[in-house]
Amino acid sequence: MNAAPLPPSTQVRRFRIRHITKYQYAQAIERSVHRLHLRPIYDWKQRVLEYKMTFQPDAVGVEYEDAFGNFTSRHESTQPYSQMTITSEATVELLDIDPFAFANLPMRPTFPVSWMPWDYKMLSPYLTPIELPETQLAEIYDYAMSFVQRNNNDLMETLFAINLAFFREYVYAPGTTNLMTTPYDVMVNKRGVCQDFANLFICMARLMGLPARYVCGYVYTGNHLDEQWAQNSADATHAWVQLYIPNVGWKGFDPTNGILPSTEHVRLAVGRHYRDTAPVSGTLYTMAQESMTTAVEMIDLDKEAADKAAGATSTASIPGTAPQRQPVPPPTEGLSPQGLNTPPATPNASATAAAAS
């Protein structure tokens, strides 16, 4: 079978990614099992050219495709250890296409959304909202429907408006939320991090009858770590959402930055929620105090080649933390696609990325 032809004038963007996770324990761990989502997704828009993963100390491992189509590996350690290092290295190629091309449909989808019985059965895991008190879900539903009403039931404009509202109206505030924070908490307090904004967007979409799934991965920002805000602005994972749109399919939305994912986003895994997609998770069979650190290096290979050709080489390593909210200039007024996906202004860093355990 021949590969599908690329759209006219299509370009690609290549990144080299190195992701290191280190664990230290107060006493020796006798046995542990870890599940990893570190090999990036491979499809027609994102190709993995090279991938290597090392596990120290050595552990018995197996790689497989999970129920959500993600590359997954499972590793079991049966020899005592007090330190563990997991390193993944990948070269990824992203197809540069217009992220708003899907919005120019001859027939605009509107609310309410209806699904054929077989579609509903296949999409049901992504249509069921998180369990919350009925009164809280009702308030989230009313909040979501306010966007629908303001946009005359137009599905595309509603989604663009919600995505932009998170960027404009919510405060990106690392350390103010945790894994127990609910979508209702985020809506009421209007603050959080990328995971929180993704969770609320997913809950809103599902209550409106639109399938939604969680995406975990890396986002390239180009920020240099000698800038104080870049060193302290976020945790090391990025999360966004994909929504299943009638007659279109799965499309990405990054509510943290108010944009549609394009050639800055590298996908690691998708699922119903963050637990399905965590880059590193595991179970210890010994009680011990644990500390974890991560470091990610994400290099734009095309920029690196251009810099070398110009006699200036620049790469940046991200120890532990990196910015999630990109320095995107305020989008222009209105909900037109051209006003929403404004690229980062004068990128001045290297990356963000990944480990949630």
Residue-wise pLDDT for 116-171, tens only, equals 999 999 999 999 999 999 999 999 999 999 999 999 999 999 999 999 999 999 99
Cα end-to-end distance, the chain, whole Å = 40
Counting beta carbons within 10 angstroms of the beta carbon of residue 179, is it exposed (0 to 12), middle (13 to 18) or buried (19 or more)?
A: exposed
- Domain CATH number, residue 298: 2.60.40.2250
pTM over 0.85? The answer is no
Question: Looking at the structure, do residues 312 and 335 belong to the same domain, yes or no?
Answer: no
Counting beta carbons within 10 angstroms of the beta carbon of residue 148, is it exposed (0 to 12), middle (13 to 18) or buried (19 or more)?
A: buried
Domain assignment present for 16? yes
Alpha-carbon gap, residue 242 to 41, rounded angstroms: 14
Question: Looking at the structure, do residues 302 and 328 belong to the same domain, yes or no?
Answer: no
Question: Looking at the structure, do residues 116 and 139 belong to the same domain, yes or no?
Answer: yes
Alpha-carbon gap, residue 271 to 268, rounded angstroms: 11
Domain assignment present for 355? no
Question: Looking at the structure, do residues 169 and 26 belong to the same domain, yes or no?
Answer: no
Alpha-carbon gap, residue 344 to 340, rounded angstroms: 12
Task: Find out whether 257 and 275 touch, Cβ atoms under 8 Å.
Answer: no
**Tens of pLDDT along 307-330?**
888 875 454 444 443 444 544 433
Question: Looking at the structure, do residues 296 and 248 belong to the same domain, yes or no?
Answer: no
Mean pLDDT of the chain: 84
Question: Looking at the structure, do residues 230 and 290 belong to the same domain, yes or no?
Answer: no
**Tens of pLDDT along 85-101?**
999 999 999 998 888 88
Question: Looking at the structure, do residues 90 and 15 belong to the same domain, yes or no?
Answer: yes
Range of the domain at 292: 11-96+281-319
pLDDT of residue 221: 75
- The answer to which of 113-127, 238-252, 337-351 has the lowest mean pLDDT is 337-351
Q: Which amino acid is at 212?
A: A
Domain assignment present for 15? yes
Question: Looking at the structure, do residues 249 and 218 belong to the same domain, yes or no?
Answer: yes
Q: Which two tokens stand for residue 31?
A: 């046995």
For 294, other C-beta atoms within 10 Å of its C-beta total: 24
Alpha-carbon gap, residue 335 to 165, rounded angstroms: 11
Question: Looking at the structure, do residues 234 and 219 belong to the same domain, yes or no?
Answer: yes
Question: Looking at the structure, do residues 119 and 264 belong to the same domain, yes or no?
Answer: yes
pLDDT of residue 176: 95
Smallest Cα–Cα separation from 216: which of 267, 181, 276?
267
pLDDT of residue 64: 97
Domain assignment present for 163? yes
Domain assignment present for 352? no
Domain assignment present for 74? yes
pLDDT bracket for residue 244 (50, 70, 90) = very high
Question: Looking at the structure, do residues 71 and 192 belong to the same domain, yes or no?
Answer: no
Residue 339 in this model has a pLDDT that exceeds 90:
no
Residue recorded with tokens 């919350």: 132
Domain assignment present for 269? yes
How, if at all, do strands 191-192 and 171-172 pair? Answer: parallel
Number of H-type helices and E-type strands within the chain: 9, 15
For 303, other C-beta atoms within 10 Å of its C-beta total: 18
Question: Looking at the structure, do residues 213 and 329 belong to the same domain, yes or no?
Answer: yes
Number of domains in the chain: 2
Domain assignment present for 335? yes
- Domain CATH number, residue 144: 3.10.620.30
**For the chain, how many residues are written?**
357
